[in-house]
Structure 1
Amino acid sequence: MRSGRLFRDGVATFALLGILSLLASKLNNRPEPVQTGEFYVIDGDTLSANGERLRLKGIDAPEYRQPCRRDGADWACGEEARKALVTIVKTGRPECRGGERDRYGRLLVTCVVGDVDINAALVRTGMALSYGGYAAEERIARQAKLGVWAGDFERPADYRREERGKQSAAGGPMKGLIDYISQSIGWGSHGE
């Protein structure tokens, strides 16, 4: 009798685990949210739609106020990156999809307009760097000396880190704490 109960309990446990496994796989296979419509371009790798910030996945564009150097002179590469994204977004009806969020709560998305992968296009034209994706596109831009690759530039992540350091030093420890809290809840930096 005892061995029968153990067998029954074992079968019930495996059945329950099987059902939980099926449920977990169904939840993991749900379609990613898709956003279409009007987008506001914040900077070269961040959009806004319906009050939500969307971060273009796999790329890192120069910050809006970030300068670069080309032919011995400064140029506003951050502003140009934003303009490049505005131009692409205006060419059609963009569709952005993604399910993950970054540490600032922004939805990480890959966007297309027609057959054009917007994320890839920004990297391929040198207006953004590969950040975990689009390495082939970055090689193309680098070899052709397009965008930021036409001169000297600071990686956007390094630029943001320096700017945070300058702001913290200028405002003392309290300012640094406020900046840290602001960035943690998504009010701060547009990058990363």
Structure 2
Amino acid sequence: MLLAVLTGPSQAPAKEIIAGRASVVDGDTIEIHGQRIRFFGVDAPESRQLCQDENGDSYRCGQRAALALSDFIGRATVRCTELYRDKWRRPVAVCRAKRKDLSAWMAVQGWAIADTEYSRDYVGPEAEAKGARRGIWRGAFELPWEWRHRSRGR
């Protein structure tokens, strides 16, 4: 009876682990072994997205977010635990490098926003960055999902 409980069809599927050296695609997406992986629970500015710094000068905040992530990861092994697949069939995962949750790291550095539609896990790190005026919180910016929506309308 116990064997049936452990191996029966009602058991949740094992979560896939994807690990290796990562290439940064943008501030919330990496690629490992040719597979793109989206970070769970956060949304970073898009590569072409402009923000304003504390002086009102424009800069490519999405590009800066990607560079910050790339600099942090360096050559470290990244280990991602897939939670589900998005509508583009990309794994959405909690990824870790150097003992850090990369979604939390990006949020606390001010380069990603907590995506509360999917999780409230990163609200605290985002609030810390906002309070300290780190990353995009130093100036003005459009929320990444609003920027994407507006940009598609052009």
Q: TM-score range by the shorter chain?
A: 0.7 to 0.9
Aligned partners of 2:21 and 2:76 also within 8 Å: no
- Shift in CA distance, 91/38, structure 1 to aligned 2, threshold 3 Å: closer
| Counterpart code for 2:8 | L
**Which residue of 2 is the match for residue 69 of structure 1?**
52
Structure 1 distance, partners of 2:23, 2:61, is 19
Aligned partners of 2:22 and 2:77 also within 8 Å: no
Q: Greater share of helix residues, 1 or 2?
A: 1
**Which residue of 2 is the match for residue 111 of structure 1?**
95
**Which residue of 1 is the match for residue 36 of structure 2?**
53
Please list, as runs of the form range in 1=range in 2, the aligned pairs for 1:6-155 lying within 5 A after superposition.
23-26=8-11, 28=12, 30-70=13-53, 71-90=55-74, 92-131=76-115, 132=119, 133-155=121-143
Residue identity over aligned pairs, in percent, reads: 31
Partner SS, residue 88 of structure 1: helix
Aligned partners of 2:38 and 2:90 also within 8 Å: yes
Structure 2 distance, partners of 1:118, 1:156, is 18
Scaled by the length of structure 1, the TM-score of the pair is 0.71
Could you give the per-residue CA deviations for residues 37-59 of structure 1, whole angstroms, max 9, x where no partner exists?
A: 12211111011122221000000
Query: How many residues in Structure 1 have an aligned counterpart in Structure 2?
Result: 147
Aligned partners of 1:91 and 1:113 also within 8 Å: no
Aligned partners of 1:64 and 1:78 also within 8 Å: yes
150-159 or 50-59, which moves further after superposition? Answer: 50-59
Q: Rg bigger for which structure?
A: 1
Partner SS, residue 68 of structure 2: helix
Structure 2 distance, partners of 1:150, 1:140, is 13
| Counterpart code for 1:45 | D
| Counterpart code for 1:52 | Q
Structure 2 distance, partners of 1:135, 1:120, is 9
For structure 1, which runs of at least 5 residues remain unmatched after alignment? 1-14, 167-192
Structure 1 distance, partners of 2:126, 2:151, is 25
Q: Greater share of strand residues, 1 or 2?
A: 2
For structure 2, which runs of at least 5 residues remain unmatched after alignment? none
Aligned partners of 1:67 and 1:74 also within 8 Å: yes
Structure 2 distance, partners of 1:25, 1:156, is 38
Query: Which structure 1 residue ranges, 4+ long, deviate > 4 Å from structure 2?
Result: 19-22
Aligned partners of 2:111 and 2:136 also within 8 Å: yes
Structure 1 distance, partners of 2:126, 2:83, is 25
Q: CA RMSD in A?
A: 1.9
